[in-house]
Amino acid sequence: MTAQVIRADQKEALDLAVRLIQNGDVIAFPTDTVYGIAAGAFNPEGILRLYEIKGRERLKAIPILIGSLEQLPLVTASVSGTARRLTSAFWPGALTLILPKNSRLPAEISPYPTVGVRMPDHPVALAILKRTGPLAVTSANLSGQKEATNADEVLAQLGDSLAAIIDGGATPGGTPSTVVEVSGDELKILRPGPLSLDQLQHALW
């Protein structure tokens, strides 16, 4: 069954997105970087569906998106001072931080003691996240294929596997977020993205 595509500016779009997530379905929506496919961060079955839909290796953890800093303690066990300074400087935005995993998170989301967390800078994504709470979100494409930056690209790659696509137009960024591991005061970029190491380090000075 092909995914329902609904424009984000339609009044029922947000309610539909929230209802489907709460029902355990997988949906797609835009972020400030690329489109993502999402399931509840505390829903093991939904998270497994993300791996299945993308053809993603289980050794690759699924990142979490949050809609506010108040949601951060739900998904991480601790946040260092360095990590907090980075969230203050770059959230919402294109920075994913690798943080200690909250023990309440399902094992399916990450085979490691850590999890990637980000707050996106996109009104549609934030509106959904503020209603649903933290979501497990990965880019809306088949593994190894180009990330989708509009609803048509999501539909072409994954349309038969999703409950709905929230069409918010083309994403403003087009490049996946910078992924950073923080160890003490040391930063290590695990995936290059829109933010450079110089930008990150400058925020800590």
Q: What is the mean pLDDT of residues 81-108?
A: 96
- Torsion angle of C-alpha atoms 3, 30, 61, 78, degrees rounded to 10: -140
- Average pLDDT of every residue of the chain: 96
Instruction: For domain 4-79+98-173, give the CATH number.
Output: 3.90.870.10
Q: Write the pLDDT tens digit of every residue in 50-75.
A: 999 999 999 999 999 999 999 999 99
Q: Which residues of 102-131 are buried (b: 16+ CB within 10 A; e: fewer)?
A: beebbebbbeeeebbbbbbbbebbbbbbee
The DSSP 8-state label assigned to residue 101 in this structure reads: B
Contact yes or no for 64/115 (Cβ under 8 A): yes
**Any idea where the domains of the chain sit in the sequence?**
4-79+98-173
Crossing angle, helix 13-22 and helix 123-132, to 10 degrees? 40
pLDDT (0 to 100) of residue 205: 82
Q: Specify the 3-state DSSP secondary structure of 199.
A: helix
Interval 85-110 mean pLDDT: 97
pLDDT tens for residues 134-185?
Answer: 999 999 999 999 999 999 999 999 999 999 999 999 999 999 999 999 877 7
What is the per-residue pLDDT for 1?
72
